[in-house]
Amino acid sequence: MSGGYMGKMLFVNLSNGELRDEPLTDDLCRDFIGGYGLGARYIFSRQRANIDPLGPENILGFTTGPLSGSPALWGSRYTVVGKSPLTNTWGDANSGGDFGPYLKFAGYDAVFVTGASDKPVYLAVVDGKAELKDAADLWGKDSNETEDILQTQYGKNSRVACIGQSGEKLSLISCVMNDNGRAAGRSGMGAVMGSKRLKAIVVAGNAKVSVANPELARQLRSKFLKEASGPIADQRRKFGTCAGVARAAMSGDSPVKNWGGAGEVHFPNGKAISDVNVIKYEEKKYACWHCPTACGGIMRIKDGPYALEEGHKPEYETLASFGTICLNDNVESIIKANDICNRYGLDTISAGATIAFAIECYENGLISKADTGGIELTWGNHQAIIAMTERLARREGFGDVIADGVKKAAERIGKGAEEFAIHVGGQEIGMHDPKLAPGWATSYVIDATPGRHTQGWERFASRGLEMPPEEKRGERHKIVSNIVHVMNASGVCLFGYMTVSIGLVPEFLNAVTGWDLSIEDCQRIGERIANIRHAFNVREGENPLNRHVSGRFIGTPPIGVGPVGQVTVDLDDRVREYLQTMDWDPATAKPSQKTLLALGLNDVAQALYT
């Protein structure tokens, strides 16, 4: 077995309680690396099409990469995978913290869960042995309480991934939490976990991640630590991702007023929720496993209506989703909203976007004060935003109407509410506006996980990556997207990857595994991962070209105000160029049989063409 891998996966059937190990083959690792590459390969081959994502047949995976828990810098990530109940297509969600490395220390590269328990359970994986345990006393507790109870029981060297009450109640925007505030946020994977009545996975162990060339890994750490310097790296260490929220709002990067406004017109006080005004509540810094950046922070609000003894620093996406798009410049309320979402287990992007949608429905008379239970949902009303977030988290009153995101909420409200529901294919969109940087639009619309802000396009081209001329937009998008797939699958953090040169991933992969991958090899592997994720959706009967695309986020028609007020993104041309480069059909987006066979995806070709 190559270095970097523990060499086995755990398979759990909650319907009959069966637990079994399966070896991880070297060929599978070389072809798909890990993370959602491994997850997509496994689930495509073992799950039939068109199953209910909240039914027992849906396979829920927790996957690591070879660099998770290794000497590689920023090697802290794990991925939750499965069919998304929010989009009804492929779903994955990436998280940092300690859980991914500790899953490997417990002896496994991945855990796959199928079936559904008839009562709440949790899975304990300790020193290579797995056991299902009763979770009746944990059901109904928030994610922090759940984690604290299990860590007390299993010791300080254990780590927990779990759901809060929102996942238990099958909110389609619920997520999987770990480390008291790190979230595998997107795709509604918390609802999948809740549908299986799996409250938590606790992992502990002393297994070591093998390294093929420890001396080379040590040299690479020194090399890339020296690269991880300069103004951008220093800013991230000081502030984390809250740095530049004000600048993003004013430039047109952050969406404002539910994607219909502009910073200088509707949100001129962006500084109130940016950098220094966020970290003044920071009690101490927080780092994911062995991370040299430590972009996280532990927050405290000493008094007032949003007093908080301890919570996590809100990320940029949260500051935008509960700030700029809600016109809320009260930073304490955003810290509180972040804590509510973390404890109940909600994706902050989707939750904030859903509150903004509800505010616009209220403003336009589609819902009334009687509907909201007396809450005046007006722009910037931070008291109302917090009150409705709590109801959403608990599925109480009007919160039950909006607990499954903007698409479902618009269907329930009717009266033309879909005009204000900003999403792609059911998924609320990441907090970066394609009208400022159009490459976002291609990723948001065509990636296997729609609306995703962490998928690759030109912005994520690391230093030293050779790129074709700017007019070859499809090729440029493909190159960066493929590299980012390998980075995600390897277990490396996107922020680390963006801080240093392109060699970070292949050089550490080679040192840890013993392989000899070039950038070109990584391109090929990334293309294979892209195709199997996409093929999952095609087999489901989904054509991304038919996805609902809210016109407001691409400027159709132009919003008319601010620095991007007259911009309309040439989305159709950009998508067409990308499809052509990928050799995907321009009408159906189906990968060509030739490409699938060339990538060694023979069974995928057979599934799509017979």
Whole-angstrom distance, CA of residue 550 vs CA of residue 553: 6
CATH number at residue 101: 3.60.9.10
Are 16 and 114 found together in one domain?
yes
Determine which of 17-26, 235-244, 343-352, 538-547 has the lowest per-residue pLDDT on average.
Answer: 235-244
Task: Name the domain boundary from 182, 204, 226.
Answer: 204
Q: Has residue 320 been placed in a domain?
A: yes
Domain enclosing residue 141, as ranges: 8-204
* pLDDT mean over 399-423: 98
Looking at the predicted structure, is the pLDDT value of residue 235 above 90?
Answer: no
Total domains present in the chain? 3
Question: Domain containing 564 — which CATH number?
Answer: 1.10.599.10
pLDDT in tens, 375-395: 999 999 999 999 999 999 999
> SS3 for 397?
coil
| Confidence band of 458 (pLDDT split at 50, 70, 90) | confident
pLDDT of residue 403: 98
pLDDT at 575: 97
pLDDT at 456: 87
Instruction: Say yes or no: 448 and 417 in one domain.
Output: no
Co-location of 483 and 597 in the same domain? yes
Question: What is the structure's pLDDT at 463?
Answer: 85
- HSE-CB at 177 with a 13 A cutoff on CA atoms is 34
Do the domain assignments include residue 564? yes
Indicate whether 265 and 159 sit together in one domain.
no
Top-ranked range on mean pLDDT: pick from 162-166, 230-234, 454-458: 162-166
Q: Are 473 and 522 contained in the same domain?
A: yes
Question: Which of 176, 204, 232 is a domain's end point?
Answer: 204
Band of pLDDT at residue 461, cut at 50, 70 and 90: confident
| Statement to judge: residues 106 and 171 lie in one domain | yes
Cis peptide before 101 (omega within 30 of 0): no
Query: Do 458 and 416 lie in a common domain?
Result: no
DSSP string, 157-179: TEEEEE--HHHHTT-TTB-EEET
How far is 328 from 332, CA to CA, in rounded Å? 10
Is the domain of 443 the same as that of 404?
A: no
Residue 196 lies in a domain: yes
69 domain residue, yes or no:
yes
Detail the DSSP E strand segments found in 302-369. Answer: 308-312
Query: What's the one-letter identity of residue 354?
Result: T
Q: Are residues 444 and 402 in the same domain?
A: no
- Asked, for residue 230, whether it belongs to a domain, the answer is no
- Residue 65: pLDDT over 90: yes
Using alpha carbons, select from 448, 423, 440, 488 the residue that is nearest to residue 173.
Answer: 423
Is residue 234 pLDDT above 90, yes or no?
no
Question: Would you call 111 helix, strand, or coil by DSSP?
Answer: strand
CATH of the domain at 302: 1.10.569.10
For the stretch 269-318, pLDDT in tens is 999 999 999 999 999 999 999 999 999 999 999 999 999 999 999 999 99
192 and 78 in a common domain: yes
Q: In the prediction, which pLDDT does 229 show? A: 83
Q: What are 480-531's pLDDT values in tens digits?
A: 999 999 999 999 999 899 899 999 999 999 999 999 999 999 999 999 999 9
pLDDT band for position 585 (50/70/90)?
A: very high
Q: Contacts for 461-470 with beta carbons within 8 Å, 24 or more apart?
A: 462/497, 462/498, 462/500, 462/501, 462/502, 462/504, 463/500, 463/501, 463/502, 464/501, 464/502, 464/503, 465/502, 465/519, 466/519
Q: How far apart are CA 574 and CA 414, in angstroms?
A: 32
In the numeric block, the tokens 């690479």 are attached to 220
The pLDDT assigned to 250 comes to 95
Q: Kindly tell me if the per-residue pLDDT of 424 is higher than 90.
A: yes
Evaluated on CA atoms 140, 407, 459, 543, the torsion sign reads: positive
What pLDDT score does 388 carry?
98
Residue 377 near residue 362, CB atoms below 8 Å: yes
Residue 457 — very low, low, confident or very high, per pLDDT cuts 50/70/90? Answer: confident
Identify whether 235 is part of a domain: no
Tell me: the pLDDT tens digits for 119-170? 999 999 999 999 999 999 999 999 999 999 999 999 999 999 999 999 999 9
- The reply to whether 278 and 414 lie within a common domain is yes
Mean pLDDT estimate for the chain: 96
**Paired strand residues for 91:** 82
Nearest to 457 by CA among 436, 438, 471: 438
Q: What phi and psi, each to the nearest 5 degrees, are found at residue 377?
A: -85, 85
Phi-psi region of 328 (alpha: psi -120 to 50; beta: other; left: phi over 0): beta
Residue 227 CB coordination number (10 Å):
15
Query: Is 433 within a domain?
Result: no
Single residue among 421, 456, 481 that ends a domain in this structure: 421
Judge whether residue 92 has pLDDT over 90: yes
Tokens encoding 529: 């991962």
Phi-psi region of 416 (alpha: psi -120 to 50; beta: other; left: phi over 0): left
Question: What backbone phi and psi angles, to 5 degrees, belong to 368?
Answer: -120, 175
- Local confidence band at 369 (pLDDT 50, 70, 90 cut-offs): very high
Residues 491 and 411 in one domain: no
pTM score of the predicted model: 0.97
The fraction of the chain above a pLDDT of 70, given in percent, is 100
Within a domain: 228: no
